[in-house]
Amino acid sequence: MTKNKVLKEWIEEIQSLCKPDRIVLWEGTKVQYDELAEECVRTKKAIRLNPKKRPNSLLFRSDPSDVARVEKRTFISTTKESDAGPTNNWIAPTVLKPIMLELYKNCMTGRTMYVIPFSMGPVGHEFSKVGVEITDSPYVALNMHIMTRTGRSVLHLIDQGETFVKALHSVGYPLQPGDIDPAWPSAPMDHKYISHFPEDNMIWAYGSGYGGNALLGKKCFALRIASNQARNEGWMAEHMLILKLTDPNQKIRYITGAFPSACGKTNLAMINPSLPGWKAETCGDDIAWMRIKEDGRLYAINPENGFFGVTSGTSQSSNPIALATVQHDTIFTNTALTDDMDVWWEDLTPEAPEHLIDWQGNDWYKGDSVRPDHPNARFTAPLTNCPALAKEYQEPVPISAILFGGRRPTTIPLIHQSFSFCHGIFIGSIMGSQITAAVLDEHIGEVRRDPFAMLPFIGYNITDYVNHWTKIYHMSTEDLLPKIFFVNWFRRDENNQYIWPGFGENSRILQWILERTEGNINYKITPIGFVPDLKHLNLTNLSISKAALDTLFEVKKEDWEIEIKDIESYYAKVYGIHTPEVLKVQLQKLKERFE
């Protein structure tokens, strides 16, 4: 199977521990993928969708207890608790490993063990890293085939001595003779573990078959383990889209963007610009690995090979590119099923069909009070399915701008630019979304901070993470590094309606951003940063009132006095006496600018 002594011994160790019935090396071929997909259909683990409507596509339904990432069961296991920091769940390896080894004993009995060599990034590229995931889930094998580069070419690198991340996964549901295997096997919640051992470059996951809990190349490797590797090696692993923009003069630039969930990250990655002559293409919608190269510029590459996106809210009006991307060769999870064997989800069409089979396999009729799809229903599709995929998607591209964002109904303007890269680090540290829905009364209006959109994904101490941004700053110069911006598409008026139309109209803001990266003097100075001078913002053919524009870009002292107090209490809670110097300096400067 392999010439690499470390890998060979590890496979033998896991075989002895987990006791699978058979072992399959994932070759990464279409034939192998198609055979396993057909086996899943035959064993009723998956549903084959209508080949005339959705060729070579499958629908899986998870167990209702296994529908999303489980942050409370996600651990960073380091020798010292301080290395995990205050934002991660920590258990010492000496405690966690024995617990999980006991769970892994005989856990693959009655199952097939898939050995999946995979590359995050193009195979053999200087920006790339490799891993091997061992799993007993055919769903994981199929998804990893789409989301990463898999197979013999990666194994060849490992055989030549390339170091690799060990990623072990089991659904935690062994089968004894006569047992009926459920369509979606998983373990009870208190037996679910998604554990990261950064000191060993190792991931152990148990009990969940869903998404980021099981596709260990994704958040587990590409962010939590990779962020620690990046800290040690002098690069960055960030939760960011990568977007290529071409202006009417055919000038090409690239931007990245980090946004918390439900803030339009995939929609921006696949934006269809409303401005004539502008073209947008995606390099990636979720993760960016970034390094400063010899020319002093920051370059980014998408380490993934596919999209693992949320279906809910995706429609012809919100994201036609995403709809085109999932037309074929796609795995769907927890969507509804139409009578003609196609998928459906909320907002896909203006009206729901009269009848559907819901995500749990039950009849659903129009007018029923419960929605037929799960709110976290997903699609897994190859990058190459995307009609707006940039030809440079497998190359590191130079970044002109970094966007941070959040969902804020007030306070934060539609767009502002940081005064400097270090001020941009501060902006990234305070990003978040305001709770406006009727949750509990005491939470309405509270800002849930998600620094750099990385709060659940930093694989080490958050103080060290922020300080690492400062180290990256010192590796180059202000004029060569990307300019940093904060966007807020979600500002509301006095009637609680969104003011900015969003979607394709966001290209107007992107135009201003790119002009600013060229140093164009089209701005006004506020205490929080540069905002557009409305005389120089492209508003051609946009129906929006002067009063609405004034609200979109206003920076009110009384709002920011409240914001500053909230930032101070947040810093005290998260960092305490370890607040990074860059944040202390920038917060003090912000206070002084409002005096």
Q: Which of 40, 263, 283, 422 is catalytic?
A: 263
Both tokens assigned to 342:
């196609």
φ, ψ of residue 400 to 5 degrees: the values are: -90, -30
Radius of gyration of the chain (CA): 24
Backbone angles phi, psi at 263, to 5 degrees: -120, 15
Three state DSSP letters for 203-243: EEEECCCCHHHHCCHHHHHHHHHHHHHHHHHCCEEECCEEE
User: What does each C-alpha distance from 297 to 244, 254, 258, 267, 513 come to in angstroms?
Assistant: 16, 12, 19, 27, 18
Distance between CA atoms of 285 and 282, rounded to whole angstroms?
Answer: 7
Backbone angles phi, psi at 136, to 5 degrees: -110, 20
Contact 481, 421 (CB under 8 A): yes
Coarse DSSP helix, strand, coil percentages of the chain, rounded to the nearest 5 percent: 35, 25, 45
**Burial category of 496 from C-beta neighbours within 10 Å (exposed 0-12, middle 13-18, buried 19 and up):** exposed
Which 3 state secondary structure label does DSSP give 413?
A: coil
Angle between helices 581-593 and 421-430 (to 10 degrees): 90
263 in active site: yes
Q: Token pair of 219, please?
A: 């958040």
Q: At CB < 8 A and 24+ separation, what contacts does 531-536 make?
A: 531/413, 531/415, 531/416, 531/417, 531/555, 532/415, 536/512
Q: How far apart are CA 122 and CA 66, in angstroms?
A: 31
CA pair distance 147, 240, nearest whole angstrom: 16
At residue 25, what is the residue type? L
**Amino acid code (one letter) for 234:** G
The span from the first CA to the last CA of the chain, in angstroms, equals 68
Quote the DSSP letter at residue 181: P
Token digits for 22?
């058979």
- What SS3 state is found at 299? strand
Residue 211 tokens read as 């998404």
Catalytic residues: 263
